[in-house]
A and B are shown apart, each in its own frame.
Chain A
Amino acid sequence: MINTAILSWVTFIYFGAFVFYLFRMILEHPFWGKLASWIAWTGLIAHSVALIIRWKASYDLAIGHVPLSNFYESLIFFAWTIVFLYLLMERQLKNHSIGVFVMPMAFLMMAYASIAPGINNRIEPLIPALQSNWLTSHVLTCFMGYAAFTVTFALGIMFFVRKVVARNSSGVRAFIHLLPSDDQIDDLIYSCAALGFIFLTLGIVTGSVWAHYAWGSYWSWDPKETWSFITWLIYAVMLHVRLMRGWRGVRMAAMAIVGFGCVLFTYLGVNLLPSLHSYLT
């Protein structure tokens, strides 16, 4: 199928963007940053086109639905939102160094979608429970949230990398002087986490509305629901410790990483547990 072919290419494009972001950091010439950014935008456009083609293809098969309905499609969309969010952020901040940490996330996700065993990349018809307009809003908001948390995580990793590199003062200094300062990273971590929190909240609410229509109960403590609730609590704690207990820097970066662990478990880990959401695998 043409859309999956484009998507495999996009995987390489994202990898290329990552490599050039890295060049920007090491060779310190702004040209590489511009090139990387340009490549990432190209990838995003190709990615969007592939999604639209896939969407249209599902209508040609007379089972039309938004391409957000199985594990493959969710991975692809997850990667799309990460890149989208990152590029918006890059435009705002005019700093190319964060790409080194974010692009690998998108790249890995795309690669996982195409090579992991047992992932079905065909367009499948929707079972009745999934035939709902809430599916679109639920998945859209959840993955926006996940993507914001992924960027938060990348920023957390960046914070620690910067710390470690700054300590071993020799050699790789160049690598970090382009990175935002500790305070800037800290602010970014907070903003991204807050954005993710809003979207996760929207995701949980739309999911509950959907569950209310589909299963007759807005909340049933199914493992995926429970884990999204746990994730939500962890980020609520993260907002509170910053606002009310003045946590900054290392602690917030650590929270960003812990929170992302919860996101990953909500997304992937719970498939090890029996669940209503198991259609995703």
Chain B
Amino acid sequence: MSPFYLPVGALPNGDSMIHVFPVIVFSNLCVNRELHCQKHHDKHFALTVYIVDTSLSGENILSKKKSTIWSFFSSVRLAIVLLLIIALIAMIGTLFPQREAAAELAGRIPPGLFSFLQKMQIFDLYHSVWFILLMGLLAVNLLICSLNRFPAAWNRFRSSPIPRDPDAFKDLGEENLFYPESDVKKATDAATHLLKKKYHSFKQADEKGSVYLCAQKGRFAHFGVYMVHLSILGFICGAVIGSVSGIDGSVKILEGETISVIGLRNGGKMMPLPFSVRCDKFTLERYKNGAPRIFQSDLTFIKNDRAVRSVKLLVNHPVVFEGFHFYQASYGSVTGKKATLALLRDGGRRDIVNVSAGYTFDLPGKEGIFKVLRVEDNMMQMGPAIKIAVHSEKEAATFWVFRDIDRIRQVIPDVSERVPVFNPGLFRPYTFSLLEIEKKYYTGLQVNRDPGTPVVAAAAVLLISGLMIIIFSYARQIWIRIDQDDGRVRIGIAGRSIKNKVGLKHEVRYLLAQLKDNLENPK
């Protein structure tokens, strides 16, 4: 299969695309039915014709069938439609809660509707059959489209311009010509010097007193588009690898605790790790306004009962251990079992005691014994509280002691009278007050392993380099003709470029000026 260029000369309608779909059948050659018509430069078009020699394989009928599918998938129209549908689906996904968040919706809409939406995978749209199918189609589209067009780009890359290109000098404007006061030899030397300095490849042809020079640069620009499209395939591959063999889990570890099992995000299953992790310490620093400034876990990785590695894990600074990435994701606290109490005896002493649930203690004045029954982090939405039972020989009382009793009294001034069990002074002559309940921090870690990440990273580099090449570089060919016109030496410069015509014009003008300068003021 070898594509070639068929110059068709000037076509009148300067800008519009032309689609030609002739079926040309040579004796034994069948021309692929889609002919790509590409704009090559202002006035000249080149038809890239793929000639498929089907006579050798004897598969004419089969290949016809194949080529219907092939041309379906090689069409850019399909690509556009696919990109729009993907955009639409992605948009729908932002309107419905996804994954865990969907549970909340279940209570608000009819169960029938919910289960229908669930069956349609609306609640996990980005991992649904729909989405994967579309991505697959896009990948096939991209692959076939690129395969279809690559030979032409390869040829454009490989083909170097011929010096005596008749098209190049057709209708060369006056502004592209000048008449130096030197002979052909000198002009040729100057032009050769200039082209060799500025371009990569250089060629020359001589003919009856005329000299043709040509040079080109930026041939790699033809590959920019392929890099971009290949990178899209790379992203898709990376995502597939990640979803097939990646692990996305999380775990909460209390200060001092050790874990060796994580919860998986998808499906909520548990997964054992081949090692265990201990949280030695959790540190939280706050700004003056209360927002967290730094939070950090001191972790120790333990393998076969031996502490292998100790690290400090900070947000934005993940740690890798045996291929698992650990991220500081969140933190929180749970109520510990300890509380600090203050005991005030009427007109007497004030004692501070540290207690925990089940703790039994003699009252300082020996009037009785009190016992801590419960320690609550947030009792009936009124803040931390502990439940105390006090009994002496004469009486027994059970009541709650709130830490924020002053605030509660501001809202309900007579709370102690109305709800006696909320009265911290129920056992006379003592008044209890709860100073603080111990809090235990836990650290929330995200635990991942995604072998697709390097592929995605490579694709990202490829994508950006490809786009840079597309935008900032362009293939350009330059011709210089030195001939005689009415006995005078004449120099003409022509250029050709698929993109950036304005830049080309500037460049030709620059070359003319340089050449003029070199010839008129030789060093």
Contacts and interface: CB of A to CB of B under 8 A. Distances in A.
Given A128-B293, A205-B464, A240-B80, A217 B94 contact: no
Contact of B467 (A201, A221, A229, A273): A201
Contacts of A248: 15
Contacts of A214: 315-316, 327
B291 A125 contact: yes
Contacts of B76: 240, 244-245
A31 interface: no
Nearest to B76: A244
Nearest to B17: A246
B38 to A, nearest CB: 10
A227 to B, nearest CB: 6
Nearest to B472: A198
Contacts of B94: 223, 226-227, 270, 273
For chain A, which range describes its interface: under 10, 10 to 19, 20 to 34, or 35 or more residues? Answer: 35 or more
Interface in A182-234: 194-195, 197-198, 201-202, 205, 208, 212-219, 221, 223, 226-227, 229-230, 233-234
B329 interface: yes
B471 A216 contact: no
A130 to B, nearest CB: 9
A278 to B, nearest CB: 14
Contact of A213 (B79, B239, B291, B317): B317
A234 B126 contact: no
Interface residues of B, number: 49
A213 B318 contact: yes
Contacts of A236: 83
A208 B98 CA distance: 20
B396 to A, nearest CB: 50
B90 interface: yes
Nearest to A234: B87
A245 B81 CA distance: 13
Given A128-B293, A208-B460, A215 B329 contact: yes
B126 A217 contact: no
Contacts of B93: 221, 226
A268 interface: no
Contacts of B329: 215-216
B315 A129 contact: yes
A163 B389 CA distance: 85
A63 interface: yes
A194 B471 contact: yes
Contacts of B456: 208, 218
B80 A127 contact: no
B57 interface: no
Contacts of B450: 217-218
A45 interface: no
Contacts of A216: 318, 325, 327, 329, 446-448
B83 A198 contact: no
A125 B287 contact: yes
B295 interface: yes
Nearest to B291: A127
A127 B287 CA distance: 9
B467 A237 contact: no
Given A132-B316, A214-B315, A198 B292 contact: no
B56 interface: no
B287 A202 contact: no
Contact of A246 (B16, B126, B448): B16
A181 interface: no
A237 B86 CA distance: 11
The majority secondary structure among interface residues of chain A is: helix
B380 interface: no
Interface string B296-331: 000000000000000000111110000001011100
Nearest to B79: A240
Contacts of A118: none
A230 B464 contact: no
Interface in A123-167: 124-125, 127-129, 131-132
Contacts of A217: 248, 446, 448, 450
Interface string A231-260: 001101100110011101000000000000
Contact of A128 (B90, B292, B447, B471): B292
A125 B288 CA distance: 9
A176 to B, nearest CB: 22
B80 A221 contact: no
B298 to A, nearest CB: 16
Contacts of B90: 226, 229-230, 233
The interface centre, meaning the residue of A129, A221, A227 with most chain B CB atoms within 10 A of its CB, is A221
A197 to B, nearest CB: 7
A256 B289 CA distance: 43
A274 interface: yes
A125 B285 CA distance: 13
B17 A128 contact: no
Contacts of B239: 219
A112 to B, nearest CB: 24
B467 A129 contact: no
B453 interface: yes
B113 interface: no
Contacts of A195: 471
A193 B83 CA distance: 17
B117 interface: no
Contacts of B315: 128-129, 131, 214
Interface string B80-118: 100110110011011000100100000000000000000
Interface of B: 15-17, 76-77, 79-80, 83-84, 86-87, 90-91, 93-94, 98, 101, 126, 239, 248, 287, 289, 291-295, 314-318, 325, 327-329, 446-448, 450, 453, 456, 460, 463-464, 467-468, 470-471
Given A195-B471, A215-B446, A216-B446, 4 more contacts: A128-B293, A227-B94, A233-B90, A245-B17
18 contacts: A63-B287, A127-B291, A128-B314, A195-B471, A198-B468, A198-B471, A202-B464, A205-B463, A205-B464, A208-B456, A213-B318, A216-B325, A217-B450, A227-B91, A227-B94, A233-B83, A233-B86, A234-B87
